[in-house]
A and B are shown apart, each in its own frame.
Chain A
Amino acid sequence: MNRETTHLRALAMLEACSLCLLVFVAVPLKYLADLPALVKVMGPVHGLSFVFFVRALANANATGSLPAGKAWWLGLMACVPLGGFLGAIWITRAEHGA
C-alpha cells in the first residue's frame, strides 16, 4: 500500500468529518440554539484539516501517486459537504485498480 495514498485518504476522511460536523451540527446549533461554542472549535479544526489535505494532495501528485487532474477534482470535492467521503472512496478504488 502506498504511503502517500494512505495518508491522503486519512486526511480526506478527517476533512470530510470536520466539514460535516461544522455544517450539519455546529452551524445549526449556533443559529437555531444560540450556541456558538462548537463553531469556534470546529471552524479552526476544519480549516487546518483542509490545509493539510491540500498539502497531501500536492505531495501525492509530486510523488507520482496521483495525477494532477485527479488532485484538482479531489480538492474541489473536499469543498462540498460529503464530497470528501466520496473522494476517500475514489482514492481507495483507484489504489485497488477498480
Chain B
Amino acid sequence: MSYPLIKSLHLLSIIFFTGGMLVLMASLLSGDARTMQHMRRWDRWLTTPALVMAWLTGGLLASKGGWIGAGWLSAKIVLVVLLSALHGFALGHSRRARDEAAEVRLTVTRAMTGVFMLAAAAICVLVAIKPGAH
C-alpha cells in the first residue's frame, strides 16, 4: 500500500475517532440515558474501529516514513496512548451511568473533554512542526 493511501486512511480514522469522542462526551454532558445508549452503539461500530485503524495505519506510516525513534513521534505516541485511555474511560463512565442509574459526574466529563482537546491540539502541533526533524 502506498504512503499517500495509508496517510489518507490514517487521517480518515482520526477524523472518525475525534468526532466519535466529542459526540460521546457531549452525550455524557447531556445526561440523557437514551442518547448515551445511542452513542455507545455508535462507538462500537465507528469510534472503536476508527481507533484501531488509526493505530494500525499510524504504525505503518511511522515505519514507511522512517520516523521510528524520532522524538516528536515518541511524544505523540504518549499523547495517543492518553487519548486511547480517555476513550476507554469515557465509555466506562457512560456504561456506569446506565448500570447504576448513577448521575454523570459533570466535573469529570468536563475535565476529560478539556484534556482530550489539549492532547489533540498538541498532537496536531507535533505532527505539523515535527520538532527536531530535518
Contacts and interface: CB of A to CB of B under 8 A. Distances in A.
B81 A54 contact: yes
Interface string A36-80: 000000001001100110111111111110000000000000000
Contacts of A58: 85-89, 92
B53 to A, nearest CB: 12
For chain A, what secondary structure do more than half of its interface residues adopt (helix, strand, loop), or is it mixed?
Answer: helix
B84 A63 contact: no
Contacts of A59: 88-89, 91-92
B81 A62 contact: no
B84 A51 contact: yes
Contact of B87 (A44, A55, A61, A64): A55
Contact of A61 (B56, B81, B89): B89
A62 B91 contact: yes
A32 to B, nearest CB: 22
26 contacts: A4-B95, A48-B56, A48-B59, A51-B55, A51-B84, A52-B84, A54-B81, A55-B85, A55-B88, A57-B85, A57-B88, A58-B86, A58-B87, A58-B88, A58-B92, A59-B89, A59-B91, A60-B92, A62-B88, A62-B89, A62-B91, A62-B95, A62-B96, A63-B93, A63-B95, A64-B96
Interface of B: 55-56, 59, 80-81, 84-93, 95-96, 99-100
